[in-house]
Amino acid sequence: MASVRFDNVTKKFGEFVAVANFNIEIRDKEFLVLLGPSGCGKTTTMRMVAGLEEATSGDIYIDADRVNDVLPKYRDVAMVFQSYALYPHLTVEDNIGYPLKIRKVPPEEYTRRVAEVARRVELETMLKRLPKELSGGQRQRVALARAIVRTPRVFLMDEPLSNLDAKLRTQMRAELKHLQHELQVTTIYVTHDQIEAMTLAHRVAVMNKGVIEQLGTPREIYNDPRTLFVAGFIGSPSMNLIPGEVKDGVFASAGLRVGGAGRFNIPRAVLGVRPEDIHVASAEDPDTNLVAPIYSVELTGENTLVSLQLGGQLLAVRADKNFSGQIDQRVAVRIARDRMFLFDAETERRVDIQSNS
């Protein structure tokens, strides 16, 4: 059980800055997800905790111990690799028991613990097999078992679900969450999949270009994005981001005018609104913001995703599952004013319109 702290950590590969001035404290027993696109430095950050990469500057602490110069074997962390990294020449049993063998755990305890963990991940019948004889999901569970066979101070998971098919991924996601709750071990989890981040995390750190864009609970990240990047990255389908101009609190772009932006004047602004916060209305409704032709209609089952042609871009609207519009038909929509965000395109930061109106 441990906390992990990054204190002004920077990691450079040659001239390339992978992680810049990174500060975060991961609390004891917390499930923290590092979320970001590939190349944003999230995996590098995790590898620095494992000791597989050295920080160029700054300090990394596990509990009160500064671990910058501590060899990986003394850090007592366990890691699940994206590729699983199972030892191909060892059986499932030897794979799971490897960390115990290295620590010279006595044979009776070794057998007992391996059997116990194998039961937990439902691999007890597979112990004598080689990794190549397992399915993807089983390999994933071996990797997980190898991590939990000892009780490390910190779990590190590098996109552990990304090689699984969609159905298995959903199932393993729930299992992972349950497991972490049961074991109560501090976990750092790297992913580029925002659904995984939202569902698993206690807190999410959204990273971009080596810096944290925003750190908060999944709910905060979703409901209260601080930057244009976070707004665009979180949510599926992603938030509509419409470039335009704000004059005296009224946002205007080609074909769209929305008031309610206080008394702001922003020459280059971006309006952000999630598809579920745009509602189909009737053309007579005085609150209608926009009437536009339908570009496509996609029924997802629980609702209908409607794309509207708005100037040069598409506006995604999440409509009722009984929505019956056809392509090219014009529909009127209303934007929920209290659920829209305004960003300054220069700084890419959000402009707080709610408190200023």
Partner 1 sequence: MATIRTRNRSREMLLRFAAYLTILVALILTLFPVYWIAANSFKFDIDIFAVPPEWLPRNPTLKHYDEAFVQRPFLRYALNSFLVAIGTTAISVTFGTMAGYALARFRYPWQWRKQISFWILSTRMMPPIVSIIPLYLFFNYFDMLNTKSALIIAYTAFNLPFATWMMKSYFQDLPVELEEAAIVDGDTRWGAFLHVALPLARPGLAATAIFCLIISWNEFLLSLIVTLTEQSQTLPIGIAGRVTQYATYWGEISAAGFMACVPIVIFAFIVQKHLVRGLSLGAVKG
Cβ proximity to partner 1, 187 vs 214, nearer residue: 187
Name the helix (H) or strand (E) containing 297: strand 290-299
Q: Does 275 bind partner 1 (CB under 8 A)?
A: no
Residue (140 or 214) nearer to partner 1, CB: 140
Binning the chain into helix, strand and coil, the percentages to the nearest 5 are 25, 35, 35
User: Among residues 50, 252, 297, 332, which is the contact residue for partner 1, using CB under 8 A?
Assistant: 50
Burial of residue 127 (number of CB atoms within 10 Å: 0-12, 13-18, 19+): middle
Determine the interface stretch with partner 1 among 56-64, 131-139, 179-187, 258-266 (rule: CB under 8 A): 131-139
Q: Does 144 bind partner 1 (CB under 8 A)?
A: no
| Subset of residues 165 to 194 that bind partner 1, contact rule: CB under 8 A | none
- Residues 100/149, Cβ–Cβ less than 8 Å: yes
137 is an interface residue for partner 1 by CB under 8 A: yes
CA–centroid distance for 204 within its chain: 7
Strands 77-80 and 250-253: unpaired
Q: List residues bridging with 269 in a β-sheet.
A: 244, 344
Decide: is 91 part of the binding site for partner 1 (CB under 8 A).
no
Tell me, by CB under 8 A, how many residues bind partner 1.
Answer: 35
User: By CB under 8 A, is residue 127 in contact with partner 1?
Assistant: no
Separation between Cα atoms, residue 262 and residue 271, nearest integer Å: 14
Torsion angles phi and psi, residue 279, rounded to 5 = -115, 140
Nearer to partner 1, 88 or 286 (CB): 88
Nearer to partner 1, 146 or 350 (CB): 146
- Contact status: 85 vs partner 1 (CB under 8 A): yes
Residue 78 as a binder of partner 1 (CB under 8 A): the answer is yes
340 in Cβ contact with 290 (< 8 Å): no
Question: Which residue number, 48 or 306, has a Cβ lying nearer to partner 1?
Answer: 48
Binding status of residue 142 toward partner 1 by CB under 8 A: no
Task: Kindly give the interhelix angle for 92-102 and 136-148, rounded to the nearest 10 degrees.
Answer: 20
Whichever of 103 and 112 has its CB closer to partner 1, that residue is 103
Distance CA 36, CA 221 (A): 13
Residue 349 in contact with partner 1, rule: CB under 8 A: no
- C-beta of residue 274 within 8 angstroms of C-beta of residue 224: no
Within 10 A of 27 (CB to CB), how many other CB atoms are there?
14
Closest by CA position to 2, among listed 71, 72, 75:
75
Which CB sits closer to partner 1, 143 or 281? 143
Residue 163 vs 227, nearer CB to partner 1: 163
Stretch that binds partner 1, among 46-54, 204-212, 287-295, 348-356 (CB under 8 A): 46-54
Applying CB under 8 A, the residues found at the interface with partner 1 are 50-52, 71-73, 77-79, 81, 83-89, 98-99, 102-103, 130-137, 139-140, 146, 156, 163-164
